[in-house]
Amino acid sequence: MDNHVAGAETGRERENYPDKFLQMSFHQKPFTRVGTVDIVQAMTQPTTDTKMGAGNGQRRRLLIGTSNKGKLHEMLEVLGVLPFQFVTPTDLGISTDAPEDFDTYVENAIQKAEFYRQSSGGLLTLAEDSGIVVDALEGELGVKTRRWGAGEKASDEEWIEYFLKRMEQVAEPKRTATFLCTAVVLGEDSQPHVFVGETRGIITHELQAPIKVGIPISSCFIPEGFDQVYAALSVEQKNKVSHRGKAMHKVKDFLETLA
């Protein structure tokens, strides 16, 4: 078992992984580039549930525990090529959102995975928690990103308008930020398998691409080494460099061992 945090162990990451969680199954594997997939087709392929690791050639269901359409889309861009039938809480009639009671990404991701796995009757479950740490707004966003500012009930447009308003007086050198994603796969062994992605970049002064549903900051965040915001990159570019793309490639490598 790999007992280490995936990715570079920066101060920001270490703060999000209390010592008690460092004994979990943390995975660090190289990620590879994949092409765009037909998400609708990936979600509707016939399946029969099987036990973890069973190799009878039949597809099993994988519950992706999110109600955020933007996150779901990005996750399936990477994972949709795998031989699973992907289902959502809505597909299973789960109408209650998972709680997010903790102050770290890993604890929230585990809590979400446990909630959806239990609500689904024990399906193999993937959940994630993500957010952005903006250096000029120290301590304000992070795990509270979507609940911050205009609030989680605000539209994407209302949320990002408030965010950019708060950032308008911040000078260029101080507009740095870090996107973080922690994903958790929870299966029949009840062992949380944890995967981490992190990307540094800068916040632009205005939107530089149309807003994508559920992920408005992708239209004003330029990752290091690029001159375009997330939302303006090609699917392959974005999934190679983005925090969620990095985490999902590690998840993909792991899930391939279960398919």
Q: Which residues are catalytic?
A: 129
> Which two structure tokens, joined as six digits, stand for 54?
């069973």
Partners of 3 in the β-ladder: 26
Asked whether the CA dihedral 106, 111, 113, 114 is positive or negative, the reply is positive
Give the span between the Cα atoms of 230 and 219, in whole angstroms. Answer: 6
Query: E strands within the chain?
Result: 25-26, 60-64, 84-87, 124-134, 176-186, 193-203, 221-223
Structure tokens at 225: 């080494």
Rounded Cα distance, 71 and 34, in Å: 17
DSSP state of 139: T
**Do residues 64 and 80 touch, judged by C-beta distance below 8 A?**
no
CA distance 86 to 91: 10
Structure token pair of residue 95: 């109408």
- Around Cβ 5, how many Cβ atoms within 10 Å? 23
